[in-house]
Structure 1
Amino acid sequence: MKKIFFLTILVGAMASCDKYLDIEPKGHVIPNTIEDYDLLLNGIHTISNEEVLALTADDYKMYNDGSSVQIDTKNPDSQSFQLFSWGEFRFYNPTQSVSAWNNPYSNIYTCNKIINEVMQAASSLRYSETDKPQIQAEAYYNRALDYFYLVNIFAKAYSASASSDLAVPIVTVADATQTTFPRATVAEVYDFIIADLEKALKNLPTKSKAIVRPNMGSAYSLLSRVYLYKGDYEKSLEYANKAINFNGTLQNYVNSTRETIGDEYRLGQYSLRYFGGTAGYQGGLSDDLKSVLNTTNDSRYYSFYRYYTGYGEFKVTYKIRPNAGASIGEMYVTRAECYARLGKKDLAITDLNTLRAKRLKEHTPLQEADFNTDKELIKFCLEERRRETFMSHLRLLDIKRMNLEPDFAITLVKEFQGETYKAEPNSGKLVLPIPAQVLKFNPSWEK
């Protein structure tokens, strides 16, 4: 029988829940009770695409894992370098799995199982019928988050051609025997994400049962993010307002230390979905990012980063595990950008000042006179977004949408071992190819 295209879904789903559930001798996971389905949610809190996001964008530089061995830039199996340099051999090997593809679809498999089955689950000692809608809602949220990254990594940015630009398959059933998965368009995937989040909002709690479980603020903030990348600034603003009204308390990083920043970072999130254990964010910050960060005045640098002698680099402190979900700080820079794009200059500057007062040791409030044009203010909002969200690895996604606008489009330039690499706006280099391992079982898909 033809293998399922994402290959590791069933294995991944089993691995995430076999510690909780009985397994038939044939190896099939059999969740039965409401508690079983709730415990399945514990296995889907990592994203595993951090290296792809970090190395394809320009916030981080390539490094040699702390060793003196030089990376072989001519070896197509040096996948970290292929990502960093936008090489032609990214995900080229049909025998190698790609976690940025497989892990999200493994998560989606689990979410589909919960969404489709939990309402028929049997009651258990600590759970009743009233728990079912919330468990299903959390699965809707998590499925939406995984699809958000899939569509933004493996497809073009949302644009006027979104209804014809091919993206990734939409899978809604937990059936490992399925063999036909047509690629949906960018518009179809975005519509699916929004629909999932709207369903989630009907039954998500106001308070999470744990920091890795979503609440209403998680869904509001993700909807705001989704609409921003869709270019719908009115709707993005609407949900940013809802998220900030739900929880708009910014943590003050100014007096933080490398010992306390981890707790303060976590308190600034609506909920957590960790990226996983990949190495992308552990590289040193690029000179380009440092040029927009005030490395002596901005707490987002001096608290988040410390010097590691073994690497000869400033690297993120081990106290922080970056979050794939949206943060309170992200909502302020999102709302500021929406205000700026909608001509509400004063409100945009107010949000920027509110955020920067909690980030800069010496903060001089911005004034309307600091910006001669709306374009200058929008550009500043985009720069502040970069400063606030570089730990969330949104830079690649932001560059892709910025490149749709001539006023903000940029050519990425990187250097490594004496060579220069460039990615021009809309060159296609920022869209990751579907892995060869996947195409092997889906030869009809367009590359």
Structure 2
Amino acid sequence: MRNRSIYLFIAAALITASCQKYLDVKPKGRLIPATAADYDHLLDNPNTMEANFQDQNKGSMLSYLGDNLEMTEGQAKVGFILNSHPNLERYYSYVFRQPYKDPNSQDYFWSSTILGIYPQISYFNNVIEGIHGLDGQSAEDEILGKRAVAQALVARAWCYFHANLVYGPVYKPGQDNSTKTIPYVVSPDINTPLPDLSTSAEVVKKVMKDIYEALPGLPVKSNWPSRANKATGQAMLAYCHLFTRKFDSVAYYANLAWTEAASGNAANVLYDYNQFSWANPSNLVTSLILSPQDTYLTAVNNREMLFYRGTDNTAGIGPSLSYPAAGLIALYDQANDLRFKYFYINSPGYKTTQGGGYNDGTRISNYRFRKMKMTEGFSYPEILLMRAEAYARTNKLDLAIADLNTLRKFRFKTGTPALTPGTQDQVINQVLEERRRELPIGGLKRFLDLKRFTLDDGKPWSKSQITHTIDGKSYTGVIDSRDFIVPITNVVLRFNPVWGIPLETRPF
């Protein structure tokens, strides 16, 4: 029997929490909630929403592989190397030096104690199988159980879809997607043999099946944005189809999600940045932003949040060892785009006396994470931008521009001229530039966009490689290659030799 190393964390983690009934452990290694409500509680574990493709200090190496960040000599040589930074994989990713991570240490993306996607998936699998196995439920528990199963299916699908693209190559619709990427585990029993790796194509198929199965049971509204509602399921389908390139389906599902949520008024799900003001204008770095619309800007349940999953909270902040890339800053209309005013702030950069001394002086850092809660899940602005992209790619240019202008009305100074349609490529490029400005600068979003855009070879938004520079020296990574694939760590591979993946032997 193959060892289920991805779940070895469970016993220790759950023994310490045995006072909670729904976290007890059966003799054979299974969680034993007793009711639908007990299973439902598992979906509220904070580790199912806060630790997604992040390191233990809540940054992400994925941010450093992309084109939204840049790094100075002092940050690299002292901040990372001389100081033996605990997340050295961020620097190695930036210079495309493989292996990026220590192959003989736990992978926080995969599973490290209670963090990673597979610890999350264990909770979701327990909810799904456990509720299906309950007998003699009341009518109220039946309703609660169906909702919890549907929410667990979507949450599991979210993990697997992203893991497939992080641990695997570019997904290429209509081409060979037979590369084996990750095991699609659906049993909560740690004594069940671990399945073989699924291919990239198989993971996408299984994810879609899970979401379609979940849709009828998802509530119209959920009690917290970490729980999927019907719009979340629709958004997930729209997002998946960005990668399958079925853009009619993207438009269909994004439209369902947006129409239901906005209810005819975009202000229901968008903040008007024209109404923002500083709480403390004398210190913009620490100041909160005030809005008369509500007081939830920095909360998970702010009006723009559809599905919450934590994101890189360090990307683009000078003292945290990166800055926004010049190419990203150049995309902003600095005179009229209020995102630039409130999030991109001139402040003291990295400074140290070590290593001969370095002083970056005053630099622009991105403080958006400190001003407004962001998500790797789905925000309502992203839903609107997915619909706009789908309209543009299906040559419905007027509709695409209308969606862009809707968002820009809430982001740009009042009186900024509206956009007008150009050629199809021009409109697609405008949508994708807006997407880059709107979404988090670190984490999954840009990393995966860069991978899917390789299929648009020759278009202005498509890149085949990324080049970073430190102190005049350039480092280049090829997107459609192993440079943009996170390998499975040796810690997991040693327990699963039947996967046939050789151990990483290069020094870290």
Shift in Å at residue 85 of structure 1?
2.2
1:90 counterpart residue number: 100
2:285 counterpart residue number: none
Given the alignment of the two structures, is residue 48 of structure 1 paired with residue 52 of structure 2, yes or no?
yes
Shift in Å at residue 435 of structure 1?
2.0
Shift in Å at residue 422 of structure 1?
1.1
Given the alignment of the two structures, is residue 402 of structure 1 paired with residue 453 of structure 2, yes or no?
yes
Counterpart among 387, 392, 395 of residue 437 in structure 2: 387
Secondary structure at 1:407's aligned position in 2? Answer: coil
2:198 counterpart residue number: 184
1:214-233 pair list within 5 angstroms: 214-233=228-247
User: Cα distance 1:133–1:350, how it changes in 2: closer, same or farther (>3 A)?
Assistant: same
1:247-396 pair list within 5 angstroms: 247-248=261-262, 249=266, 250-257=270-277, 258-260=288-290, 263-264=296-297, 266-275=302-311, 279-280=314-315, 282=317, 283-306=322-345, 309=348, 311=350, 314-316=365-367, 317-361=369-413, 363-368=416-421, 371=422, 373-391=423-441, 393-396=444-447
Bigger mean CA deviation after superposition, 382-391 or 349-358: 382-391
What is the TM-score of this pair, normalised by structure 2? 0.78
Unaligned runs of 5+ in 1: none
* 1:371-425, Cα deviation, whole Å (9 max, x unpaired): 2x32222122211111121357411111111112212331311112443111234
> Is contact 1:17–1:39 with CA below 8 Å preserved after alignment?
no
Shift in Å at residue 41 of structure 1?
0.5
Shift in Å at residue 52 of structure 1?
3.1
1:135 counterpart residue number: 148
In 2, Cα distance between equivalents of 1:259 and 1:85: 35
In 1, Cα distance between equivalents of 2:375 and 2:250: 20
In 2, Cα distance between equivalents of 1:228 and 1:37: 33
Shift in Å at residue 114 of structure 1?
0.5
* 1:87-129, Cα deviation, whole Å (9 max, x unpaired): 21123422x1111122111111110110011133478999623
Bigger mean CA deviation after superposition, 245-254 or 126-135: 126-135
> Is contact 2:2–2:194 with CA below 8 Å preserved after alignment?
no
Bigger mean CA deviation after superposition, 109-118 or 401-410: 401-410
What is the TM-score of this pair, normalised by structure 1? 0.88
User: Cα distance 1:340–1:39, how it changes in 2: closer, same or farther (>3 A)?
Assistant: same
User: Cα distance 1:68–1:439, how it changes in 2: closer, same or farther (>3 A)?
Assistant: closer
> Is contact 2:167–2:485 with CA below 8 Å preserved after alignment?
yes
Q: 1:84 is matched by which residue type in structure 2?
A: Y
Given the alignment of the two structures, is residue 61 of structure 1 paired with residue 116 of structure 2, yes or no?
no
In 2, Cα distance between equivalents of 1:15 and 1:318: 35
> Is contact 1:339–1:347 with CA below 8 Å preserved after alignment?
yes
Bigger mean CA deviation after superposition, 15-24 or 32-41: 15-24
> Is contact 1:33–1:122 with CA below 8 Å preserved after alignment?
no
In 2, Cα distance between equivalents of 1:88 and 1:433: 10
In 2, Cα distance between equivalents of 1:12 and 1:274: 24
2:357 counterpart residue number: none
Instruction: Report % sequence identity.
Output: 25
Shift in Å at residue 445 of structure 1?
3.4
1:244 counterpart residue number: 258
Bigger mean CA deviation after superposition, 55-64 or 345-354: 55-64
Decide which structure has the larger Cα Rg and report it.
2
Q: 1:34 is matched by which residue type in structure 2?
A: A
Unaligned runs of 5+ in 2: 55-59, 278-287, 351-361, 503-508
* 1:60-102, Cα deviation, whole Å (9 max, x unpaired): 23479989934229989821212222221123422x1111122
Shift in Å at residue 171 of structure 1?
0.7
1:153 counterpart residue number: 166
In 1, Cα distance between equivalents of 2:239 and 2:439: 12
1:413 counterpart residue number: 467
1:208 counterpart residue number: 222
Secondary structure at 2:450's aligned position in 1? Answer: helix
> Is contact 2:72–2:470 with CA below 8 Å preserved after alignment?
no
Secondary structure at 1:357's aligned position in 2? Answer: helix
In 1, Cα distance between equivalents of 2:66 and 2:41: 35
1:72-83 pair list within 5 angstroms: 72=81, 78-83=88-93
> Is contact 1:304–1:320 with CA below 8 Å preserved after alignment?
no
1:433 counterpart residue number: 487
Alignment: residue pair count: 442
User: Cα distance 1:67–1:383, how it changes in 2: closer, same or farther (>3 A)?
Assistant: closer
Q: 2:402 is matched by which residue type in structure 1?
A: T
User: Cα distance 1:187–1:41, how it changes in 2: closer, same or farther (>3 A)?
Assistant: same
Secondary structure at 1:303's aligned position in 2? Answer: helix
